[in-house]
Amino acid sequence: MKITKHILTGLLIMMVTASGFTATAQTDLSADYDSVATSSDEKTDRSVIIETNLVQSISSEYNGVRETAIFNAIMLRLQNPDLDTSRITKSLNALLSVETEPRIRHKAHIALFLFENDNFSFLKNENTPLLEGDVYRYASDQMNTTFLSVNEANQ
């Protein structure tokens, strides 16, 4: 029963977010909100549902579900900069305390860096669609540059 619940949660998050964004960072989620939701209350309700699904998926026992949820959380925040994502941040922090898979830990660290520093502007590139690997590579480069700059300033 527990496995079925997690599988259904993963499928639900994929279905809810599939119309909003896919593996590229160029999909305009806000346009989907405008076409589906007519009032700001409906947009907020949908955001809460998506955020809840992402939080549940980040704590899934399945590696693929966790990985997809981390990327989808980044895309949600990229497309909705005013969205309160504190629950996602808490979920990512909780994931880091128990995660044993190095690849997922790395992606969660990158996502936390982006969320905590509100540093998504370098990912916005209107000319070229960014794939998932590109997002993590660019974010990782930005994170390294930030940390190296801080270290150099402290020396």
Q: Compute how many other C-beta atoms are within 10 angstroms of the C-beta atom of residue 44.
A: 14
Tell me the H-state helices in the chain.
2-18, 29-36, 40-58, 63-79, 86-98, 102-117, 132-154
The boundaries of the domain holding residue 52 are 2-154
pTM of the complete model: 0.67
pLDDT of 2 strictly over 80: no
Question: What is the pLDDT, as a whole number, of residue 110?
Answer: 92
Question: How much is the mean pLDDT over the chain?
Answer: 76
Q: Which of 16-20, 79-83, 99-103, 113-117 is predicted with the least confidence, judged by mean pLDDT?
A: 16-20
Question: What is the pLDDT, as a whole number, of residue 126?
Answer: 58
Structural domain count of the chain: 1
d(CA 13, CA 67): 12
pLDDT of 28 strictly over 50: no
